[in-house]
Amino acid sequence: MKETLAIGLMSGSSLDGLDLALVSFTSDQGHYTYTIKEAATLPYPEVWRAKLANAFQSNPEDLGPLDREYGAYLGQQVKRFVEQCGITPDFVASHGHTIFHQPEKRYTLQIGDGQALADQCGLLTVNDFRSEDVSKGGQGAPLVPIGDRLLFNDYDICLNIGGIANLSYEYQGKRIAYDICIANQALNWLAQREGLSYDKDGMMARKGTLNQALLDKLNSHAFYGQLPPKSLGREFFETFQRQLLESHNTADALATFTEHIAMQIAQCTAQLSEGTILITGGGARNTYLVERIQQHTKHQVVIPDSQTIDYKEALIFALLGLLRLEGNTNVLCSVTGAPTDSCSGRIWIPKQKQHNKLV
């Protein structure tokens, strides 16, 4: 058995903060086990929250400098995290932060320059896990299902509720996965209108009144009738949902959007045999949302320990980096719709170590 130490980085579209997980992996003939040794969520300073939120409207010439600046920021956070843990990992694997995701145009952008990240923390770095699949004509998303298969196969369905809700499951020997709907990205945006970063436990949503007309409009989009593979980006919220929500009071909009999420999840799982649904991501902490999901679905909802809720994605990005360095498949064409599986990700060596190899 071989042990590898890795740090996984995840920044979701809901802008909750940067998740870091220091993970020990052991592998034995293609079977992987893991232990999360340390983990932390670093809330974004307001300056970075604003930069990342506004990058969607940035001029193209501004994105290059932002990419490098954010990569350096990530590297600094990794260096500080490593110093606090007192354990040096073998590598870092970073999701980056998604600015654009338009796979139908063969275009996706996750900023966080890999060379800047590697230089700041002094560690081998793997990033840019989506581009290769998108260039083949795939969705480049979701990426987590390979981890669901290798690490969480005790559950019939894995459901992650972050900025976007997505699920994965095995069907006739293939992993099927896709984005379901916008989730915390909309709920947090609504809560922020009231000066809150998020709606804790769904308390505001619970007090609101469901607006049936708004719910019908939210549920009417053609995306929900499309067969997978399919994925979503912030573009979906900005161009379709935001304008529907703007004219409604916050509590009612939260109640209605929560119901929308629960209904879409139930619709996507209705045809699957009864079993367990593992829910992770920030949405697993939204008590009211979980209640509405359980009300609508026939499956048994499982809420795991807090570490799994908060760091499953960071954990799996560490696994994606390990698979890339091993030369193994880490992006499944059964999920993305690409013609072939991929061993995806760009590898970066810190410049100081590059120099040492040359001397």
The Cα 159–Cα 300 span in angstroms is 12
How large is the angle between the packed helices 114-121 and 60-85, nearest 10 degrees? 30
In this predicted structure, what is the pLDDT of residue 28? 87
In this predicted structure, what is the pLDDT of residue 29? 82
**Cβ neighbours of residue 248 closer than 8 Å, sequence gap 6 or more:** 211, 214, 256
Q: Are strands 2-11 and 91-94 parallel, antiparallel or unpaired?
A: parallel
The Cα 291–Cα 61 span in angstroms is 45
Tokens linked to 143: 């990426």
In this predicted structure, what is the pLDDT of residue 355? 59
Tokens linked to 307: 């570490």
In this predicted structure, what is the pLDDT of residue 14? 82
Name the pTM for this structure: 0.92
Q: Please name the residue ranges forming H helices in 122-176.
A: 131-135, 145-151
Tokens linked to 316: 């799996």
Q: Where are the beta strands (DSSP E) in the chain?
A: 2-11, 18-28, 31-42, 91-94, 97-102, 107-111, 125-127, 157-161, 164-171, 174-182, 276-280, 300-302, 346-348
The Cα 107–Cα 92 span in angstroms is 24
Per-residue confidence in pLDDT tens, the chain, 359 aa: 789 999 999 998 888 899 999 999 999 888 999 999 999 999 999 999 999 999 998 888 889 999 999 999 999 999 999 999 999 999 999 999 999 999 999 999 999 999 999 999 999 999 999 999 999 999 999 999 999 999 999 999 999 999 999 999 999 999 999 999 999 999 999 999 999 999 999 999 999 999 999 999 999 999 999 999 999 999 999 999 999 999 999 999 999 999 999 999 999 999 999 999 999 999 999 999 999 999 999 999 999 999 999 999 999 999 999 999 999 999 999 999 999 999 999 999 999 877 565 43
Please report how many Cα atoms fall inside a 13 Å half-sphere around the Cα of residue 284, on the Cβ side: 21
In this predicted structure, what is the pLDDT of residue 358? 46
In this predicted structure, what is the pLDDT of residue 104? 92
In this predicted structure, what is the pLDDT of residue 143? 95
Give the SS3 label for residue 38.
strand
Name all domains of the chain by residue range, CATH numbers in brackets: 2-136+313-358 (3.30.420.40), 145-308 (3.30.420.40)
Output the DSSP codes for 6-20. EEEEEE-TT---EEE
In this predicted structure, what is the pLDDT of residue 359? 37
The Cα 50–Cα 45 span in angstroms is 9
